[in-house]
Amino acid sequence: MALSITLFLLASMHFQGSSSSSSLRMGSSLSVENPQHILISPNAIFSAGFVSIGENAYSFAIWFTEPRFHSPNTVTWMANRDQPVNGKRSKLSLTDDGNIVLIDASLITAWSSNTDSLDPVELHLKDDGNLVLHQLQGTVLWQSFDFPTDTLVPGQPLTRYTQLVSSRSESNHSSGFYTFSFDDSNVLGLHYDGPDVSSSYWPQPWLISWDAGRTNFNSSRIGVMNFLGLFNSTDNFTFVTSDYGTVLQRRLKVDCDGNVRVYSRKSVLQKWYVSWQAISSGCTPHGICGPNSFCVYVHASGRKCLCLPGHRLKNHSDWSQGCEPLFQLTCHGNESMFLEIPNVEFYGYDNHYVEVSNYSACENLCLQDCNCKGFQHSYTDDKRFYRCYTKTQLLNGKRSPVFQGTTYLRLPKSNSFSHKQYASEPLYDHVCSVQLQRAYIKTHANRFVKIFLWFSTALGAFEVICAFAIWRLLVWTRQKSNVDREGYHLTETGFRKFSFSELKKATKGFSEEIGRGGGGVVYKGILSDQRHAAIKRLYNAKQGEGEFLAEVGIIGKLNHMNLIEMWGYCAEGKHRLLVYEYMENGSLAENLSSNTLDWRKKYNIALGTARVLAYLHEECLEWILHCDIKPQNILLDSNYEPKLADFGLSKLLNRNNPNNPSISMIRGTRGYMAPEWVFNLPITSKVDVYSYGIVVLEMVTGKSTTRSIHNGEERYDGRVVEWVREKRENSSSCWLKEIIEADIGGDYDDRKMEILSKVALKCVMEDRDSRPTMSQVVEMLQ
């Protein structure tokens, strides 16, 4: 395989003479004007030479060798990223005294290795992509691995002396603002180092390193990715790529959007794909939008920045400078007012953080402080008090439909600014958005599914297997060393590996079954620390442990209050188990059939479920569809807060097409499935919106889509949607009363139930484009 690729490369490159060798001798040079003047590593994987990085601007670089007709070069190292040279008469020379110098046409030295040697030396491009200046007897004087640009290749260590620095943009290779390096406390992380402000944003800065799964007691500071796709560093940070194993080429790069990704490809003719990334949410990196502006992430178009009301963009060619106020605040509290900016969060620069009992206490705190630009407040989970943060700077802003706090912006009392000011402003696409492929493929099973469905609609509960692909950006940041760490179970890294015998004991030999479905049987168990858990034993899981771990990692990484929390997993021999938090109040399905929910609880469940779906669809960079929303998969905690279960599980089950591991099978459930599945239309996040609408209609009407109701009453037989629509059209005024479940009685908020019913009807439109997105649903319900 490797040999044939090499041959292919050699054949396609037309070497001329001896100019393309792997070494440069003393006194010779490579010229920018001669495209044949390149070094090629003995295995032909890497090349070094001049690359064009702009109009008449060249850099000396190392890149993955591409077939001649193939574009563009994937650069792994650059000598002079910040000082490109002229396209004429520039050259890189190895001088007689052992220095490598890059001289521009104007005879200015653009870059140099600053080495000297009395003994003969040679510059050699090695098979691993390291460009080495060594004496003929072997001593290394200089090597490119010690001066990385924005990329690490397998085997290249990141050390206390090195850092990766992103480029300014996709097209501008000069040094940007994001760095990937060890900080002073020996922790490897991502940092924003802008012209005016700097901050760290990964691992999450509010976690102490221990809780982020890191240790700061090893000051060796080395991190390296091996050839199989395993990265580990001395702060105990470890991950494996989703394609762990031998692929042709890999590289780890800090991208200009502030994320670190591993890219892989299986042949030189294929495109690079992302096999790991550090951050899963688009607006997480700091510094994207400068002061007084905030970042919005939309799947279709990527990130953009918006100014706060009453502010205008400072510099049209540079969002990182943010926005400036069009007003002046006085120090008198009586001359300010506050404008509510919902779902927008500004990270850091809190002057005060206090717990207060009401809104006006927080407002007063801000008014008493001349430097206070606004405040953010939010409920604590148990809703007994507010958290109040007063802000001296509005930095690192982001809007997210699932952020539950609100920011209040301080403005002069007499102003004419309003929300519309930013909502209607032309949107500005950020200079750097890394486009990720988000293919969503159905298998050929569709024709069969379609026919089968038509025949079986009368057959009662019936599950259809459908297929989908998720672009696999898998994350495995938790390491096994957490296993023994008692006491940190509930933190961010509480995720751990369990042994089979431990789980067997916890479930008393798998004796108490509490549910079935989603590919396994769920048992109740009590863990050694007395926590109650729901333990799912998968029937038919993927056998490979590495792959299973990578898949579990993505699920374990997701974090939302309305997503059921996964505490860990077990992968031992043939056993594959998942450990979840246990939900006292069972599933929504059980609660609906036993009529335990009043309208407030139902409304809250609808809102919470919408929030978590908006999170899965729009917040995560991993584009996740649930594809099996139904009351059985919505669990309720002790406060009747909904928790979505069973998402992502399909990826763990062994129903894969062996030729395409990125296609996994998932089940939909009849009664909740959108028409797209039947009509063989492209599957988008709107399939979840449809299923969600059905669930909400069930909650409102109390009528099941999968159960039929008889004895004198109308029969619904899965036709709840038509039934509600008819009621609405035929009896205009009191349709609500007619559809609402009798058991709720008269005691409900008309307005809210009307909103709920109308939203649900929109969600179940046949035409998927007419259905709202989940974040629109959240907005309507809020």
Ligand X SMILES: *[C@@H]1O[C@H](CO)[C@@H](O)[C@H](O)[C@H]1NC(C)=O
Give me the residues that bind ligand X (CB under 6 A), please.
54, 168, 172, 174, 215, 218, 220, 222, 232-234, 236, 315, 317-318, 332, 334-335, 356-358, 360-361, 481
Dihedral angle of Cα 286, 291, 297, 298, to the nearest 10 degrees: -160
CA–CA separation, 310 vs 666, rounded Å? 48
* Closest distance to ligand X from the beta carbon of 182 (Å): 11
Closest contact distance (angstroms) between CB of 159 and ligand X is 10
Q: What's the start-to-end Cα distance of the chain, in Å?
A: 58
Smallest distance, Å, CB 498 to ligand X? 17
Strand 374-379: give its sheet, edge to edge.
Answer: 336-342, 406-412, 374-379, 386-391, 350-356
Cβ partners under 8 Å of residue 307, min gap 6: 292, 293, 313, 323, 422, 425
Q: Judging by DSSP bridges, how do beta strands 566-572 and 496-497 pair with one another? A: parallel
Question: What is the residue whose two structure tokens read 């997503």?
Answer: 563
Decide whether 168 or 450 has the Cβ nearer to ligand X: 168
Residues 354 and 700: their CA atoms lie apart, in Å, by 39
**What's the min distance (Å) between Cβ of 142 and ligand X?**
23
Contact indicator for 671, 678 with CB cutoff of 8 Å: no
Pick the closer one to ligand X by CB: 237 or 692. Answer: 237
Looking from the CA of 582 toward its CB, the CA atoms found within 13 Å total 18
For residue 8, give the 3-state DSSP assignment: helix
Question: With respect to ligand X, which residue has the nearer C-beta, 188 or 341?
Answer: 188
- The tokens describing 93, both together, are 């020379």
Q: Minimal CA–CA distance to 60: which of 12, 135, 121, 113?
A: 113
Minimum Å gap between C-beta 232 and ligand X is 4
Minimal distance, residue 604 CB to ligand X, in Å? 24
Question: CB-wise, 198 or 596, nearer to ligand X?
Answer: 198
Contacts of 206 (CB under 8 A, 6+ apart): none
Contacts of 454 (CB under 8 A, 6+ apart): 678
The C-alpha atoms of residue 182 and residue 161 are separated, in whole angstroms, by: 9
Cβ contact 588:631 at 8 Å: yes
Distances (CA, A) of 167 to 53, 74, 368, 491: 12, 13, 43, 34
CB of 389 to ligand X, least distance (A): 16
CA dihedral 79, 81, 83, 87 (to 10 degrees): 80
Our CB check for ligand X shows the closer of 111 and 273 to be: 111
Nearest to 471 by CA among 308, 341, 326, 621: 621
Give whichever of 175 and 654 is closer to ligand X, judged by the CB atom: 175
Sheet containing 46-54: give its strands across.
39-40, 46-54, 57-64, 74-78
Other Cβ atoms closer than 10 A to 12 = 14
CB of 334 to ligand X, least distance (A): 4
Rounded to a whole number of angstroms, the minimum distance from the CB of residue 690 to ligand X is 43
Phi, psi dihedrals of residue 334, rounded to the nearest 5°: -75, -5
Q: How many CA atoms lie within 13 A of 423 on its CB side?
A: 6
Helix, strand or coil, per DSSP, at residue 564: coil
Residue 431 zone, left/alpha/beta (φ > 0; ψ -120 to 50; rest): alpha
CB of 227 to ligand X, least distance (A): 12
Q: To the nearest whole angstrom, how small is the minimum distance from the Cβ of residue 408 to ligand X? A: 16
Candidates 193, 257, 369, 628; catalytic one: 628
Strands (E), 55-154: 57-64, 74-78, 91-94, 100-103, 109-112, 121-125, 131-135, 140-143, 151-152
Radius of gyration of the chain measured on its C-alpha atoms = 29
Beta carbon nearer to ligand X, 139 or 360: 360
For β-strands 397-399 and 293-298, DSSP reports them as parallel
Q: Which of 289, 300, 42, 260 is nearest to 158 (CA)?
A: 260
Q: Any binding-site annotation on 413?
A: no
Spatial distance between the Cα atoms of 21 and 35, rounded to a whole number of angstroms = 13
Helix (H) or strand (E) holding 296, with range, is strand 293-298
How large is the greatest C-alpha to C-alpha distance in the chain, in angstroms? 103
Per the annotation, the verdict on 628 as an active-site residue is yes
Of 515 and 556, the one with the shorter C-beta distance to ligand X is 556
CB of 540 to ligand X, least distance (A): 31
C-alpha to C-alpha distance for 612 and 626, rounded to whole angstroms: 11
| Among 567, 605, 603, 611, residue whose Cα is nearest residue 586 | 605
CA dihedral 186, 187, 191, 195 (to 10 degrees): -20
Q: β-strands 222-225, 230-233: how paired?
A: antiparallel
Question: Helix H segments across 70-121?
Answer: none
- Give residue 259's Cα distance to chain centre: 10
- Positions marked catalytic: 628
* Binding residue positions: 536
* Binding residue positions for ATP: 536
